[in-house]
Amino acid sequence: MDILLFPIVFGWLAGYFVNYASDVLPRTRHFSRPVCHHCQSSFSWADYLTLRACRSCGKGRGLRTWLVQILAVASFTYFWLSPSKVLGFPLGALVLIYFGIITVIDLEHRLILHPTSLFGAILGLFVGTYIYSYSRSSGILSGLGSSLLGGLIGFGVMYLLYQVGGLVARLRARRMQAAGQADDEEEALGGGDVYLLGVLGLMLGKDFILNALVLGVLFGGIVSLLFIIALLVRRRYSNDALMTFIPYGPYFIIAAFYILFF
Ligand SMILES: [Zn+2]
């Protein structure tokens, strides 16, 4: 049992960091004092770390905070017992924390932030080089090459998809204007996803980035299909439902997670 104390404590601390980064980065873009989501008054560090409700407005810390803490402890314990074969535990833990932060921020704000993408690029280059050199027992240079090429492929493919998405959005805006409706400026694929796929490409390298792209698109497509079926069943379906913004980022993160850890 003592042997599990380490991943449980470390997982709880990792959960703090994912929550903290997801709370402050979308607001200030740097590590600042955490504030209440409801009334914007600052938390004391003691209150923040003990997950207390806000003292000014009395509102609790929200479901996400608790979910992240629990999931972090559960996943750290799981991967302590059976670590990713290619990453090992320490590097795997770092990747898990990173994926946690971008997933939460993307789901809550539909944003992939530039500071997290920049950090991800450095982490991705390191992880991609390490995996390739280690699994092929080849030199660092060929690992670097695989990582950079993977990044280029991920970024390039997503950039093209983004251009197509932009074209569709413009056509739709024109159609809506013609119909006398205001343009709602929704994009099918966010620009941040281009950077995200660049980061995932660096991480996975040239051999696996296409797998992640295909898996992500398939997975996102299946979930969207289920969503449309649910709307049809509840008779809420309209022409616009098909065009509703789908945050694709989390699906690509799940795909990369699957490839790296299983
Ligand atoms: Zn408050």
Rounded Cα distance between 250 and 13, Å, is 23
Structure token digits, residue 204? 């996975």
Q: Measure 39 CA to ligand 1 centroid, in angstroms.
A: 4
- Residue 42: strand pairing partners: 35
Q: Measure 35 CA to ligand 1 centroid, in angstroms.
A: 8
Strand, helix or coil for residue 221 = helix
pLDDT exceeds cutoff 60 at 183: no
User: Structure pTM?
Assistant: 0.88
Q: At what angle do helices 114-136 and 2-28 cross, to 10 degrees?
A: 140
Q: What pLDDT is recorded for position 136?
A: 85
Q: What pLDDT is recorded for position 236?
A: 65
Of the candidates 228, 249, 239, 85, the one whose C-alpha atom is nearest the C-alpha of residue 161 is: 249
Q: Measure 165 CA to ligand 1 centroid, in angstroms.
A: 39
pLDDT, one tens digit per residue, over 155-182 is 999 999 888 878 887 887 888 788 776 6
Q: Measure 74 CA to ligand 1 centroid, in angstroms.
A: 29
pLDDT, one tens digit per residue, over 104-156 is 999 998 889 999 999 999 999 999 999 999 888 888 999 999 999 999 999 99
In the chain, the percentage of residues whose pLDDT exceeds 70 is 91
Q: Measure 107 CA to ligand 1 centroid, in angstroms.
A: 22
Question: Can you give 58-111 as a three-state secondary structure string?
Answer: CCCCCHHHHHHHHHHHHHHHHHHHCCCCCCHHHHHHHHHHHHHHHHHHHHHHCC
Mean pLDDT of the chain: 89
